[in-house]
């Protein structure tokens, strides 16, 4: 059975989905996951500790390798959690059910966020190129699996996982001071979105 593990970028997708860097409460989701001492930045030690802990949670049999079945089980669990949170967000009056107005308001807000993400140049319309660049992201995780398996043996160890996380950290750490700030995370995501749209 082939075994896999997601790289830092793919795990970011698992943890934060496609939400923007700055969450609704003013603290970025990246910081929520990795800034364990709440000082407003993430150092390499915090980052590696979070990467190790996340690997352990996904590696249910604790054999140091993440199998395809383990990965899928983790994805199903995360999906279930997202559904519960989504329902809670829609149920704005907290009565345990979602009325038509609540449902439509949620869909409208979601559509506006999606449109804003697709409208890369902010001109109020979405071109074919902008739309296509968003669709390409759906295949991102499959590519990341292949990149992780450096020796091509169909499985990835925890050591390989941490190596990938470290490389990802260094890409975000623009000034190479071994600390990642919210501004650097936001700048990194902007660079990635720009490249996916054909920018430099």
3-state secondary structure the chain: CCECCCCHHHHHHHHHCCCCCCCCCCCCHHHHHHCCCCCCEEEHHHHHHHHHHHHHHHCCCCCCECEHHHHHHHHHHHHHHHHHHHHHHHCCCCCCCCCHHHHHHHHHHHHHHHHHHHCCCCCCCCCHHHHHHHHHHHHHHHHHHHHHCCCCCCCCEHHHHHHHHHHHHHHHCCCCCCEEEHHHHHHHHHHHHHHHCCCC
* % the chain with pLDDT above 70: 70
Q: Along the 200 residues of the chain, how does pLDDT read in single tens digits?
A: 444 333 444 444 444 433 333 333 445 778 888 888 889 899 989 988 888 888 888 888 888 887 778 877 888 888 898 899 899 999 999 999 999 999 999 889 888 888 887 888 888 888 888 777 665 544 555 566 666 667 666 676 777 777 877 888 888 999 999 999 988 988 887 777 655 444 44
Q: Give the pLDDT confidence of 52-106 residue by residue, as tens digits.
A: 888 888 888 888 887 778 877 888 888 898 899 899 999 999 999 999 999 999 8
């Amino acid at each position: 059975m082939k075994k896999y593990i997601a790289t830092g970028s793919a795990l970011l997708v698992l943890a934060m989905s496609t939400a923007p860097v700055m969450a609704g409460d003013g603290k970025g989701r990246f910081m929520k996951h990795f800034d364990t001492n709440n000082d407003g930045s993430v150092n390499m030690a915090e980052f590696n500790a979070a990467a190790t802990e996340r690997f352990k949670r996904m590696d249910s049999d604790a054999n140091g390798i993440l199998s395809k079945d383990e990965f899928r089980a983790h994805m199903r669990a995360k999906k279930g959690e997202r559904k519960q949170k989504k329902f809670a967000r829609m149920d704005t009056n907290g009565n345990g059910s979602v009325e038509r107005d609540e449902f439509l308001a949620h869909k409208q807000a979601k559509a506006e966020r999606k449109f804003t993400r697709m409208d890369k140049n902010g001109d109020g319309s979405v071109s074919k190129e902008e739309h296509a660049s968003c669709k390409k992201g759906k295949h991102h995780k499959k590519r990341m699996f292949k990149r992780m398996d450096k020796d091509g043996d169909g499985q990835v160890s925890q050591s390989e996982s941490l190596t990938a996380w470290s490389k990802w950290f260094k890409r975000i750490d623009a000034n190479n001071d071994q600390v990642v700030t919210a501004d650097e995370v936001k700048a990194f995501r902007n660079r990635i979105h720009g490249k996916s749209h054909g920018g430099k």
